[in-house]
Amino acid sequence: NSTNVQVKVNPFKHTCQESTLRKDTISRAKSRWVAEEVKKWVKENQQVGPQRNCRRTSKISSR
């Protein structure tokens, strides 16, 4: 048996706020914490998309 792997590249620019612009004044949230928060939101509503999660995460990390 052979295994095929398909890699897709998103050609569109993301719409999340860049935390690198603020990295001198605000430290970044740890990716594990962000993943845990997103996991909670997806459990609450399985219909939520990645763009909505991105916006919601950037609101929390900008506090």
pLDDT of residue 26: 46
Average pLDDT by stretches of 10, the chain with 63 residues:
75 66 52 73 74 59 50
Do residues 27 and 61 touch, judged by C-beta distance below 8 A? no
pLDDT of residue 14: 66
**Which tokens in the block code for residue 9?**
């590249």
**Which tokens in the block code for residue 43?**
């459990």
pTM: 0.33
Tokens 């970044």 correspond to what residue? 28
